[in-house]
Amino acid sequence: MAAPDTAWPDSPLDAVNAAFAALTRDPNPMTLDLDKLHDDNDLPASSMTLPALRDWLLKHPRAYTARDTVWRELVLRARLQGPAWVVAAAGMAMPALRRCAGQLRLGWSGDAHDIDSEILTGFLTALRDRTDLSKPAPYASLCMAAWRAGYTLRQRAGEAVPVDDIQHVIGPRTPTVPYGHPDLLIRRAVILGLLDACDEQPYIDLRLGRRAIEPIADAMGITADALRMRARRIDQRIAHALASGLLTGVASPQAAAHLAATATHRKRTRAARATANAYRTAAAAANVAA
C-alpha cells in the first residue's frame, strides 16, 4: 500500500525542510523584524518571513554585513529561544546543506541518509555551541562545520579496519591517574582562589565543554561580553599559576594568603558593580514612571 502524502520524510535534511515549511507557512509564518537589526548594513526595511529573507540573502551573495547580522540573530535565537528557532536556522541554511550533501555523496557507496545525518549533526552542534558570535562570518563557520562532519564520515568509513579480537590487539591497560585532568586542575584553582566557586561550572562548560557562551551568560545574569572578559582573566590567572607550578605543586602559606586576598577583593568588586547596576536600573525605572 502506498504511503500517505503526509508521511514524514526519511531524509534528515528533507525532514528539517518539512518542519521549516510548517513553521513558515500562513497564517502565522515565522518572521524577523529587520528594522531592529539595522546597523549600517544593507538589509531591507520592515519584517520579512524567513523564506523571503532566505531568498533575499541568496540573491545578494555579497551582502556580507547583512548576512552576518541576520545569522548572529538566528544563532542567538536558536540558543536562547527554543527548538523552533533551531529548526528555523537549519531551514535558512538548507540550500548550503544540500550543496554539501550533493558534493559529499559523489562516489559514496553507503546510505545517502547517513551523509545527510552527519551534515545536519555537524551544523546543529556548531549552532548550539561551537560557532563564536564574536568572530566574523558565523554562517560560513556553521556551513564549514556541516561539511567537516560529512567529510569525516567518509574518511572514517574509508579508513576503518576490521579487528577480530580488539582486547587481544590492545592488550591490558593500566588506568590513567587523573591528577592531570583539566577539570581537576580547575577544582584546585577554585580551592586556591584563582577563580570563584560560582565561576567553576560556567568556566568548565565554556572552556572544556566548548559550550556556547550566550546561554551560559544568560543563566548567570550577565552579558556574553562580560563573561568573555571574565573567562579571559581566569585564563590568564590559570596560565600564570601553571607556569609557576602553583597548580601542580604545593602553595606556600604566603601564596595562599595572597590568592585568598585577591579572591576577596574580586568578590567585593563584583558585589559593588551589581549594586551600582541595580541602582541605575531603579533610577531609570523611576524616571520613566515620573
> What is the residue-level pLDDT of the chain in tens, covering all 290 positions?
344 455 778 889 999 999 999 999 999 999 999 888 866 667 887 889 999 999 999 999 999 999 999 999 999 999 999 999 999 999 999 999 999 999 999 888 889 999 999 999 999 999 999 999 999 999 999 999 999 999 999 888 763 334 344 333 333 443 333 344 677 788 888 888 888 889 999 999 998 888 999 999 999 999 999 999 999 999 998 888 887 777 766 555 666 676 777 777 777 777 777 777 666 776 666 666 66
SS3 label, residue 47: strand
Strand partners, 48: 32
In a domain, 55, yes or no: yes
Residue 19 to residue 32: CA distance in whole angstroms: 18
In a domain, 199, yes or no: yes
Q: Give domain status of residue 166, yes or no.
A: no
Query: What is the distance between the alpha carbons of residues 64 and 76, in angstroms, rounded to a whole number?
Result: 18
Dihedral angle computed from the Cα positions of residues 172, 174, 180 and 186, in that order, rounded to the nearest 10 degrees = 90
Asked whether residue 73 falls in the same domain as residue 189, the answer is no
Q: Could you tell me if residue 200 is inside a domain?
A: yes
Residue where a domain terminates, one of 158, 188, 207? 158
CB 190 within 8 A of CB 259: no
Residue 166 CB coordination number (10 Å): 8
Residues 148 and 196 in one domain: no
Residue 164 within any structural domain of the chain: no
Q: Examine the domain organization and report whether 144 and 66 are in the same domain.
A: yes
Residue 163 lies in a domain: no
Chosen domain end from 125, 158, 191: 158
By CB neighbour count within 10 A (0-12 exposed, 13-18 middle, 19+ buried), where does 216 fall? Answer: buried
Indicate the SS3 state at residue 33: strand
Cell numbers for 172: 591490558
- Same domain for 32 and 152? yes
Strands (E), the chain: 31-33, 47-49
Please report the pLDDT score of residue 240 as a whole number.
84
Among 109, 127, 158, the domain boundary falls at: 158
In a domain, 168, yes or no: no
Q: Are residues 131 and 216 in the same domain?
A: no
Taking the CB of residue 208, how many other CB atoms lie within 10 A of it? 12
pLDDT for 108: 86
The verdict on 153 and 20 lying in the same domain is: yes
198 lies in the same domain as 116: no
Same-domain pairing of 146 and 188 = no
Tell me: do 149 and 18 sit in the same domain: yes
Please give the pLDDT value at position 229. 94
Number of domains in the chain: 2
Alpha-helical regions (H) of the chain? 12-24, 50-59, 64-80, 83-92, 94-105, 112-125, 138-159, 166-170, 182-192, 197-203, 213-220, 224-244, 253-289
Can you give the pLDDT at residue 141? 94
d(CA 53, CA 121): 24
Residues 148 and 17 in one domain: yes
Note whether 92 and 50 are same-domain residues.
Answer: yes
Quick one: 130 and 213 in the same domain? Answer: no
For residue 288, the model assigns a pLDDT of 64
How far is C-alpha 60 from the chain's CA centre? 26
* In a domain? residue 233: yes
Q: What residues make up the domain containing 281?
A: 180-289
